[in-house]
């Protein structure tokens, strides 16, 4: 692969909200996309989720049927990790747990054949340098590529090089993000939470603490921020949309690195996650759906 060309063969690992959103955007923008899940059932569910999302776009008049058909034709959902061997860019989007991500990157180093292939992580908070270290002499090809949910709608992407990332890799990913995906990147520092979550997570945790302490109802907290501060969504509804397990995981990473109380997860958040009430994706969280 030419190191100046845009990647055309993209892999995505993880078929949750973020992974399917990234895969959908890449397929709709002309890339050949392979999305990998842990088993066939989850791979099929990921493919179905993308197809449903594209179908909604067609129904709303935002996607032409012919474009939808072509995008789906460029997409493969599989449980075969080996299908990533010929990828030029792979984006890891598995659960927000360091051990799981390190395992993925270790496997990628042994699977992806092109030495110039870029290995990216959609992590919300885990330092990129630690993921780079997991791939040995390929660490220069590793960086963060953090999208925001819902990926087909929100334009922001954080591009996060580590101390080990080659400048050429950062430049290529920046160009791919803008020229191919049509997104708006910002360069973020390789520290826990990067730019957006270092600001967002304390805000979400403060809202959860306010609810936990009985200082205001969930409805009043969210309406206050929507109608009083012109936010498109209140912090509690946003937490449910993100996933309370993800919010907790990011908060724990931030607190472990910074040791500041504003990053400490409230007990209510911990209890909801322990109970499996993770937000919209499970039907229950801070709200019921």
Catalytic residues: 124, 146, 158, 197
Residue 185's SS3 state is: strand
Q: What are phi and psi of 158, to 5 degrees?
A: -90, 125
- Whole-number Å distance between alpha carbons of 53 and 152: 9
Identify whether the C-beta of residue 109 lies closer than 8 Å to the C-beta of residue 118.
no
End-to-end CA distance of the chain: 47
Residue 143 bridge partners (DSSP): 120, 161
Please return the burial class of 132, using the count of CB atoms within 10 Å of its CB with bins 0-12, 13-18 and 19+: buried
**Pairing verdict, β 142-147 and 156-161:** antiparallel
């Amino acid at each position: 692969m030419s190191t100046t060309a845009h990647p055309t063969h993209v892999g995505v690992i993880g078929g949750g909200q973020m992974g399917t959103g990234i895969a959908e955007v890449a397929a709709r923008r002309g890339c050949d996309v392979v999305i990998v899940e842990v088993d066939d059932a989850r791979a099929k569910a990921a493919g179905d989720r993308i197809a449903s999302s594209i179908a909604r776009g067609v129904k709303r008049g935002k996607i032409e049927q012919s474009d939808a058909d072509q995008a789906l034709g460029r997409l493969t959902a599989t449980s075969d990790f080996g299908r990533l061997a010929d990828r030029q860019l792979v984006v890891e989007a598995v659960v927000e747990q360091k051990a799981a991500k390190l395992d993925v990157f270790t496997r990628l180093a042994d699977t992806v054949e092109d030495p110039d292939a870029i290995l990216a992580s959609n992590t919300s908070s885990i330092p990129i340098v630690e993921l780079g270290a997991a791939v040995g002499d390929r660490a220069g090809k590793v960086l963060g590529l953090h999208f925001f949910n819902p990926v087909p709608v929100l334009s922001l992407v954080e591009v996060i090089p580590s101390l080990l990332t080659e400048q050429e890799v950062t430049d290529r990913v920046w160009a791919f993000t803008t020229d191919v995906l049509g997104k708006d990147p910002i360069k973020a520092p390789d520290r826990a939470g990067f730019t957006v979550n270092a600001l967002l997570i304390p805000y979400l945790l403060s809202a959860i603490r306010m609810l936990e302490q009985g200082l205001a109802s969930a409805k009043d907290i969210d309406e206050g921020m929507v109608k009083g501060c012109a936010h498109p969504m209140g912090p509690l509804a946003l937490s449910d949309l993100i996933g309370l397990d993800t919010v907790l995981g990011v908060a724990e990473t931030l607190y472990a690195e910074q040791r500041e109380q504003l990053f400490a997860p409230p007990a209510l958040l911990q209890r909801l996650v322990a109970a499996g009430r993770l937000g919209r994706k499970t039907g229950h969280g801070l709200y019921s759906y």
